[in-house]
A and B are shown apart, each in its own frame.
Chain A
Amino acid sequence: MNLGQTIIDGLALGALYALVAVGLALVFGVLRLINFAQGELITAGAYALSLTSNWPVIAQIALCFVVCVGLSVAIERIAFRPLRGAAPATTLVATFAVAFALEAVWLIAFGANGKPADPLSTLNTIAIRGSLNLRWITIVEIVAGIVLLGGTALILNRTSIGLQMRAAATDFRTARLLGVRTNLVISFAFVIAGVMAAVVALLYTVQTPLVTQTFGLDITIIALVGAVVGGLDRLWTATAGGFAIGFATSVLGDVLPASQEKFLTAFVFLLVILLLLLRPGGLFTGFGRTTVERV
């Protein structure tokens, strides 16, 4: 085992999980809703790639983005918007309903055997050979993570819509009194979540080229656990949590002997349980929080 290799691979998988986590956290920020249906966006994007394997790659990528963003916005419009103001449990159940319904659709339409999708399989080649073997996909995943997370931070910190989203995430009632358009900020959160899902679908097919109906679900559940452990109430803690769990999963996968690898998920969750026992408020709570109540 090579420590450098383990860390690099961990960074790459961590970046992927961070992208899922940031989408979950953005939606949670404006709706106080854990969107279990987000995994289905990734699955839908991956199926879109598998169904268009004879298209030019650039057209496949474009379609993947259209499908993920379109489905994300459509789910919000059709399933969540009519429930605006309903009890949180109701909306939570609605996200389950959407997720299971879509999973059934995938199963009926595409069968249980899975469909191959590998538009970017060329990335699975070695870019730099040496003491570390660096594959292109590893580099692309890390770069994509940095660019997309940095881009999201720029939008949130430098644009009016980003400022409105941050305000809405803190206090939606007051934001509305100031004229913030509810539907606009919520739709925008779902657009970003859709973009993240498209990128994850594209990159994840490189290492998992067989698309099944649970393709996006597994990665989303684990990213969600990471986001919760990090602290879902703030974007950066949730993202860091998603990154951490991706990193831990990858490292554990390297460290565990091959015979134990089927217990990988169990080990990850064991780690999560330990962390929650030690820091029940979230892994990163208490950092960078300087606000005090003043009267």
Chain B
Amino acid sequence: MAEPALEVQALEVRYGAVPALRGATLSIEAGEIVGLVGPNGAGKSTLLHAVMGALPIAGGSVRFEGRSLAGVPTERIVRQGLALVPEGRHIFPDLTVDENLRLGLVGRGSTDGISDDLERVRTLFPVVHDFRDRQAGLLSGGQQQQLAIARALVSKPRLLLLDEPSLGLAPAVVETVWNTLSEIRSTGVTIMLVEQRAQITVGFADRTYVLGDGRVKMQMTPQDADDTERMVEAYFGS
């Protein structure tokens, strides 16, 4: 069997003496959309940043396509084919839309096919083409989110991590963003989606892990989306 796209084993991360992850274990197969939900402070963002090498790993392991990422600096991890769309989008407000997009090119492992990839992303997200010369800070929240995803995509990731892409967006806009995620997956990109909105995430993703207190507490499938009892247990049970 092929190596999982991402394999996180007993991952521990601490902020000083405070543990944020206490042995989280999960794995994602190539081509999947996997959700990660959990209450505030469960360690969701911490897990993503640890995978990206932006936080030091205190214990356990992270493997991307079989290779360990422990101690590898972020700039190299990005070039190996991972990309993170951070929470709050973090587009560069003073730069133009096109400049923001081009920053995504920095993290490419290879320079082949840049114009094709830019073209594909512009088709997927017309907003990055239509407003190319506009200051990115002037875009609406939904447009900024699309730009942030587009920027991550032009680095040509095989695994795309998204941290709360629906945060602060109107429901209709959220739907557009999620439809796009399905399209992105169909081009062969594996997706890990961190969300606060548990129910719709469980219904959307192939599988969803529930994180609580720094550990993975359970795994859910779309069939569980309407099982409110199980949902509540996942969030508040011990």
Residues of A within 8 A of B (CB): 160, 163-164, 166-167, 170-171, 173-182, 290-295
Contact = CB atoms under 8 A, between A and B. Distances in A.
Nearest to B152: A178
A294 B103 contact: no
B63 interface: no
Contact of A291 (B52, B78, B86, B93): B93
A178 B75 CA distance: 7
B74 interface: yes
B135 A291 contact: yes
Given A167-B92, A174-B86, A292 B103 contact: no
A176 B135 contact: no
B130 interface: no
B104 interface: yes
B168 interface: yes
A163 B78 contact: no
A137 B9 CA distance: 67
Contacts of A179: 74-75, 78-79, 106-108, 155
Interface in B120-156: 135, 137-141, 144, 151-152, 155
Contacts of A178: 78, 103-104, 106-107, 151-152, 155
B137 A175 contact: no
Contacts of B107: 178-180
Enumerate the 5 nearest inter-chain pairs by beta-carbon distance, A residue then B residue, closest first.
A179-B107, A179-B78, A291-B137, A174-B90, A291-B93
A180 B95 CA distance: 16
A174 B90 CA distance: 7
Contacts, number: 79
A262 to B, nearest CB: 43
A186 to B, nearest CB: 13
A177 B74 contact: yes
10 contacts: A160-B105, A163-B103, A171-B92, A173-B54, A174-B86, A178-B103, A179-B79, A292-B137, A294-B144, A295-B141
A176 B74 contact: yes
Contact of B141 (A164, A180, A294): A294
Interface string B151-176: 11001000000000000100000000
B129 to A, nearest CB: 19
Given A163-B102, A171-B90, A178-B106, A294 B137 contact: yes
B54 A292 contact: no
Contacts of A294: 137-141, 144
A180 B106 contact: yes
A82 B57 CA distance: 21
Contacts of A163: 95, 99, 102-103
A181 B103 CA distance: 12
B102 A160 contact: yes
B84 interface: yes
B94 interface: yes
Given A164-B103, A171-B90, A179-B106, A290 B135 contact: yes
A291 to B, nearest CB: 4
Most buried by B among A160, A164, A166, A167: A167
A292 to B, nearest CB: 7
Contact of A167 (B54, B95, B152): B95
A293 B90 CA distance: 12
